[in-house]
Each structure stands twice: as structure tokens, then as C-alpha cells.
Amino acid sequence: MPGTALESPGPEPLILDEQIDGQWRPASIDSHRHDEVISVSTAYVLHGWGGEREWTEVLRSLPVSQEVETLISRDFNNASSRSAAVVGVQVRSHPTLTHPRTLEKSPVEWYIRRMRELHARDDSVSFFLSCDTREAEIEISSAVPNVSFVKKAGRYNSREGLIESVADLALLSKTDYILAPYWSSFADLAWQMSGRAMPIETSQGVKNAE
């Protein structure tokens, strides 16, 4: 494995992983402990100095930008007021950008079936939909009632697209239950942002709230 660089403002990157006796070992970053920002890329577990906050706590404390807030207000006004329960639905269906396991285990048909089952159980339930393709968005919202979503215009990995993704993430974290794709970490991040407050279901099972 090649050495991994610790990004720094200096002209030369510092080496985080070092080779000792022919083996790559983690190098110490202790001399940088008071830096305001340390950006690390390494194959090893990072050990702190004892006073660190849990990353999920930091994540939950981050405010969203005004651009994200505007997008949320424009397309999804206060999910809690829309019904007794809001189910977040995150779909990955892009034929080339989605992992093959996700496409196999979490087809659009599975989402439609589960959403219909949840609606049949309680017709006041509404759904917040986060899709990576317009085709899936149209198919699901046409097949299931009470569906809302952020209207997207940004290209994949563009600045506008990333802002739209953060809006989706923030809204998913405020729902009461999540239907999520198999083999995708996006909904897991929303679950962490919520404080692990809601169950999250994939086609393979349910992970309960903590």
C-alpha cells in the first residue's frame, strides 16, 4: 500500500502512513493536534486524545445552509404537519451509478409495494421521496398517494446537485420511518442525523430505533 498523505497548508504534504521494515504503519499526527482542521486519508483506525465529541453529535449540531433551507421551504413545508406519520423513502435506481446489489435487492417495485402496504394500514400517512432518477420519482409518485419530494435540477455531483442531496438528507432525518435501499449509506447517514430515532427498513430487514 502506498503512503497516505495528511493534507496541510504547507508546500509539501506530510506522510500519515510510513513504511517500517517493509511494512506500512500508521504515523503519529500528535504534532497537529491543535490544528483547526486536520484532513486525513488512511487505512488505519484514528485514535483521538480523549476529549473528542462523538461524530454523530457533531453531525446533528451542524446548521444547514440558507440555500438548503430555502430548498426545503420551497418544496416541503413542515413534514410534521402533513400527517400523523411521515415515511422517508430513499431510492437508488440509476442504471450505471447505483451498486448492482442495490439494484437487485431494492427494485422500485419493492418500494411501491411497501408504500402501498403502509398506506393501506393508515391512509393518513404521507411519504417524503428521495430519488436519484426522475423516472423512479415519476413512477413512484404516480403509483402511491401523498408523496412529496424536493424538485431537482442539479446534475450528479454538481454544486446544485449536492445542495439538493443535503436537503434530501435533512428531510429524511426528520421522518418517522425510513424505507431505504440495500447496500447504501445515504439513509444510514440520515438515521445518524436523527439520533437513531426512527426504524430504518430495507428489503432485507428492519434496523430499529435506539
The per-residue pLDDT for range 126-183, each reduced to its tens digit, is: 999 999 999 999 999 999 999 999 988 888 889 999 999 999 999 999 999 999 999 8
Block residue for cell numbers 506500512: 24
Instruction: Return d(Cα 18, Cα 2) in angstroms, integer.
Output: 9
Q: Give pLDDT, residue 13.
A: 43
Q: Give pLDDT, residue 53.
A: 84
Name which of 35-39, 79-83, 205-209 the model is least confident about.
Answer: 79-83
pTM of the model: 0.77
Q: Give pLDDT, residue 9.
A: 45
Under the banding of pLDDT at 50, 70 and 90, the label for residue 80 is very low
Name which of 22-31, 57-66, 134-143 the model is least confident about.
Answer: 22-31
- Would you state the cell numbers that stand for residue 194, as one nine-digit string? 436523527
In which residue ranges of the chain is CATH 3.40.50.11350 found? 63-207
Under the banding of pLDDT at 50, 70 and 90, the label for residue 51 is confident
Vertex 176, ends 203 and 110: CA angle to 5°? 20
Q: 3.30.70.120, 3.40.47.10, 3.40.50.11350, 2.60.40.10: which CATH number matches 63-207?
A: 3.40.50.11350
Under the banding of pLDDT at 50, 70 and 90, the label for residue 5 is very low
What are phi and psi for residue 86, nearest 5 degrees? -120, 125
Instruction: Return d(Cα 173, Cα 175) in angstroms, integer.
Output: 6
Instruction: Return d(Cα 87, Cα 206) in angstroms, integer.
Output: 14
Nearest to 130 by CA among 145, 115, 144, 150: 150
Q: Give pLDDT, residue 3.
A: 45
Give the rounded percent of residues in the chain with a pLDDT score beyond 90.
56
Mean pLDDT to the nearest integer, 106-120:
98
